[in-house]
Amino acid sequence: MSNKTQTRSPYSVMDEPHSEIDAATAPVVAPLAIEVADSKDETPPSREVVFDLRDVSVYYGQALAVAGVSLEIHRNQITAMIGPSGCGKTTILRSLNRMNDSVSSFRLTGSCTYHGNDLYASGVDAVEVRRRIGMVFQRPNPFPKSIYDNIGWAPRILGMRDNLDERVEKALRGAALWDEVKDRLKTSALGLSGGQQQRLCIARSIAIEPDVLLLDEPCSALDPISTASIEDLMQDLKNDYTLVIVTHNMQQAARVAERTAFFSLDVSGGQRKGILVEYDDTATIFTRPADKRTEDYVTGRFG
Amino acid sequence: MASLDYTRPLTASGNLRRRRVVDRLMRGAATAAALAAVVILGLMVFAIAQRGGSQLSVAFLTQNPPEQLYAAGGGIANAIIGSALMVALATIIALPIGVLIAIYLTEFATARAAGPIRLALDLLYGMPTIVIAIFILGLLVVGHGQTGFYASLALAIIMLPLIARTTGESLALVPKELRDASHALGISRWRTTVGITIPSALGGIVTGTILAVARVAGETAPMLLLASVFDNTKTSFNIFGQALPNIPYEIFNLAESGGTVNVAKAWGAAFVLVVFVLIANFVARALHHRSTRMMTGR
């Protein structure tokens, strides 16, 4: 799982640069001088495609919500989706593990494949999809159970009963939470702080050994210190998982993601719909965007 | 006087004085009405405790009625047993069905299907219990004879909307985020319901069930029609074979038969019933309190 030793508490994170990459490039962050994850320090990005979206449009009833999104998401990378509110980034994210199925008016056109399998083909079981593609939500949502049971419950149901204690410990270590909770595994998860709860939710997701983690604004309800520890954690997690993160926070995308997709609202033709404006390496999006709209957004001129 | 003088003292003037009087009157009326509810309950409990409390003794709770109708002594043990058996059986029937109805309504039904079912539950809730009793009477008792089981069926029908409604309310209180979290782990809808939603709502379900039990324990109409012909001096556990003695019918019988001894016993039985209902309600409240605390942590 993690190749770093997880001995830090989240409160010590601010004392040190929160990742080696940042320390090399931009120790001080001015509001608009956006630091970008430096790609030369990264392991060479693998090109294996996990998700392949071709001309994906999403409708809610008759209303077109997102139009014509095409993008590839690569394995063991962090892909960020940014853009103003209502531009459909969360809709696209939730389409990747079929969390939108519960919305009865939801309809998706185009092709959305995962490792070459059409996610929306008939015969695809949404439960099986989510078994492989986990999700962390905007607000931490631990179950009203003990810390241990929060992690152990799903593996038990999914038949991964052997060495459950080890599995729980491994998941909590993987989410950099073990040292903080190892002495109170039987206490309620609701007694944890917001940042701890969110890391618990990440631990819960990785306990069932998924392939992909979708993160829907995972830090929006957290304070800066907790946010830094989650961002740190994401850097560790990408060694084992493919991560897709939706964020309102441009700096966050710049800090954590190799690839960034910029979504925006298109109001031409009297219809408001989300579109994918530009998708490229994060450095390109933030320093040399090809599209004027991207430039306006990342330089803070709108949104 | 075109404009207000903003510098004059900030005391009430003009029609504000009248509005304040109306405000006081209405507040007083509302307070009095609220107090009346407490007073009515207090008077009733006091009257029953005063007249019935003196009847209460170990013998009253553990002995059966005397063989002779107007004889002193004896108790209502067989009626307590009969009531307990019938209410227990009714709960066993109504609880799983009521919980399943609630699960269907909150977890599975579309808005279009849920509407008519909710309406049906509301209508069932408002159904006069004598109507439910006569329905069971016509359907099952005529030609077969009364049994405690038939009375339990009627009680179960009365309990059903109560349990379904309170369970539905507590299931609806379980945050959608918890279901999402479970679904995102590759857990099916039913396993989510059993493993996350129901445990989270358990306090509410138990509370609703206790209240439903308290409600039907004193239900009289079904007993008059479905569990009234019996030898009320014997204890019977034969719930499927014969009508069982029970507290509501015992009260009715004793009060109707006249004679100071019997009327006094009727008060005693009423006192037992009221104490049970009050205790059940307090337990339900305590459980409800605890479960809401559980849901919010610590």
What letter would DSSP give residue A33? S
A37 pLDDT tier (thresholds 50, 70, 90): low
Arithmetic mean of pLDDT over chain B: 89
With CB atoms and an 8 Å threshold, state whether A132 touches B175.
no
- The reply to whether B298 touches chain A by the CB within 8 Å rule is yes
Inside any domain, residue B29: no
Q: What digits encode the pLDDT tens for the residues B78-99?
A: 899 999 999 999 999 999 999 9
At residue A6, the pLDDT reads 44
- List phi, psi (to 5°) of A245: -125, 130
Question: In the prediction, which pLDDT does A55 show?
Answer: 94
Q: Is B1 domain-assigned?
A: no
Closest Cβ–Cβ partner in B177, B191, B199 for A137: B177
Q: Does B180 contact A137 at a Cβ distance shorter than 8 Å?
A: yes
| SS3 (DSSP) at A62 | coil
Task: Identify the closest residue of chain B to A100 by CA–CA distance.
Answer: B180
With H, G, I as helix, E, B as strand and everything else as coil, classify residue B127: coil
Q: What is the mean pLDDT of the segment spanning B180-185? A: 93
Q: Can you give the length of chain B in residues?
A: 298
- Spatial distance between the Cα atoms of A143 and A149, rounded to a whole number of angstroms: 8
H or E element that contains B162: helix B148-173
Q: Considering the domain boundaries, does residue B51 fall inside one?
A: no
| Residues of the domain holding B109 | 58-295
Residue B25 lies in a domain: no
Residue type, A252: Q
Domain count, chain B: 1
Measure the CA–CA gap between B197 and B229, rounded to whole angstroms.
44
Q: Which burial class, exposed, middle or buried, applies to A177 when counting CB atoms under 10 A from its CB (0-12, 13-18, 19+)? A: buried
Instruction: Among B180, B184, B200, select the one facing A144 at the smallest CB separation.
Output: B200
Considering chain B, what percentage of its residues have pLDDT values greater than 70? 96
Query: Which pLDDT band, with edges at 50, 70 and 90, does B247 fall under?
Result: very high
Domains of chain A: 10-28+49-298 (3.40.50.300)
Is residue B37 a part of any domain in this protein?
A: no
Tell me the average pLDDT of chain A.
Answer: 84
Interchain proximity A157–B187, CB inside 8 Å: yes
Name the residue in chain B with its Cα closest to that of A157. B187
Would you say residue B230 lies in a domain?
Answer: yes
Instruction: Judge whether B88 lies within some domain.
Output: yes
Average pLDDT over residues B170-198: 92
Could you tell me if residue B10 is inside a domain?
no
Q: With bands split at pLDDT 50, 70 and 90, how would you rate the model's confidence at A277?
A: very high
Contact A212, A132 (CB under 8 A): yes
* pLDDT tens digits, A281-300: 999 999 999 999 999 888 88
pLDDT digits (tens, 9 = 90+) for A238-269: 999 999 999 988 889 999 999 999 999 988 87
CB A212 within 8 A of CB A133: yes
Res B26: pLDDT: 96
**Using CA atoms, how far apart are residues A136 and A138, in angstroms rounded to an integer?**
7
Q: What is the CA radius of gyration of chain A?
A: 19
Whether residue A127 and residue B110 make contact (CB cut-off 8 A), yes or no, is no
CB atoms within 10 A of CB B294: 16
Q: Which stretches of chain B are assigned E, i.e. beta strand?
A: none
Sheet holding A117-118: strands in order across?
A117-118, A106-114, A49-60, A63-74, A273-281, A259-266, A78-82, A242-246, A212-216, A133-136
- Please give the share of chain A, as a percent, with pLDDT higher than 70: 84
- What's the rounded mean pLDDT across residues B56-62? 88
- Encoding tokens for residue B60? 């009253």
**Which of residues A22 and A77 earns the better pLDDT score?**
A77
Q: Which CATH number is B112's domain given? A: 1.10.3720.10
pLDDT at B226 over 50: yes
